[in-house]
Structure 1
């Protein structure tokens, strides 16, 4: 999704033989592709608030795995005999997390995940995502 953008159509014309919904969509995309590099458009990704509840014996491996997913671990709290790890994690890195968590914890850890905010996609040291490269 685009956020923080306001666009105003200043002029347009309709001709019964040459105009269609598809033609207007193509024209709108062309305008966006031309304007985006000039406006400094930045690709954002959803960041999820993740809470993992695990027995203490698995916490180091779980935190290591979260770091490998570009997470920011916010806290690690004891709750009874379990440890609760709170982290902010890009959604793009969370695919297959359920299976990995089950494997790391021998099916003893659980997690919840909910949307928190959008953040810029990091591009330093790696090829830009295709959506960014299209405007480069």
Structure 2
């Protein structure tokens, strides 16, 4: 399975409000958060910007916890959401009905709704690949690499032929070994290492999201 990730390109200000009344004591948590993107590879930041105690100190970490848990589960296709900043800016509480649990749920609700307003996208791992092939198979192997959304970055000569250096999405080379063998009559070799994450093209992202929806419905 390819370790996709999710991230956002836009920003928003959104409310998460959890209110439940069931006999006796109710549940109440209410928060407003700003969500904005961070540069690729930054991870996650949380800023507490509450003034005047509109949410008491003891409940604020629960909002963050709800967001972290929701981010780990993903919003678009079940993959972790990365590279975003949350600012907790406002909210309200109830002296009797508020609890950490209620604020955790409110944080999670705000995040899930908010991400969908922030142009969410899927990210995929890109690998550096070195393919060693005899000269006569060069053209075929390069053509095939291009058809896998790969790009050739350079060439080297090796004892027995050429080394093609390139980058390609991990998703496109999951079954590369047998394919390369058959293209090169068993004489090609390759190695790869992780490079970075890039946005998944929309037409591919749509398929991944649709598959995730289908899996969820079948659960």
Superposition TM-score tier, normalisation by shorter sequence:
0.7 to 0.9
Q: What does the per-residue CA deviation read over 1:18-66, in whole Å, with 9 as the maximum and x for residues that have no partner? A: x6xxxx67x72x4333111322222111101010011111111111111
- What TM-score do you get using the length of structure 1 for normalisation? 0.75
TM-score by length of 2: 0.49
Instruction: Write the distance in 2 (CA, Å) between the matches of 1:115 and 1:31.
Output: 33
Report the counterpart of residue 100 of structure 1 in structure 2.
179
2:152 is aligned to: 73
CA RMSD of aligned residues (A): 3.0
**Does structure 1 conserve the Cα–Cα contact (< 8 Å) formed by 2:122 and 2:205?**
no
For residue 169 of structure 2, the aligned residue among 90, 114, 127 is: 90
Structure with larger Rg: 2
Cα deviation per residue 1:81-113 (whole Å; 9 max; x = unaligned)?
Answer: 310001110111111101101111111111001
Asked if the contact 1:44–1:121 (Cα under 8 Å) also holds between the matched residues in 2, the reply is: yes
Corresponding residue number in structure 1 for 2:209: 131
Using a 3 Å threshold, how does the CA distance of structure 1 residues 133 and 54 change in structure 2: closer, same or farther?
closer
Listed as ranges, the gaps of 5+ residues in structure 1 are none
> How does 1:44-63 map onto structure 2 within 5 Å?
44-63=123-142
Which one has a larger percent strand, Structure 1 or Structure 2?
Answer: 2
Residue equivalent to 1:42: 121
1:132 Cα deviation after fit: 8.2
> Higher relative CO (CA 8 A, sep ≥ 6), structure 1 or 2?
1
Taking a change above 3 Å as real, the CA distance of residues 101 and 130 of structure 1, as seen in their structure-2 partners, is closer
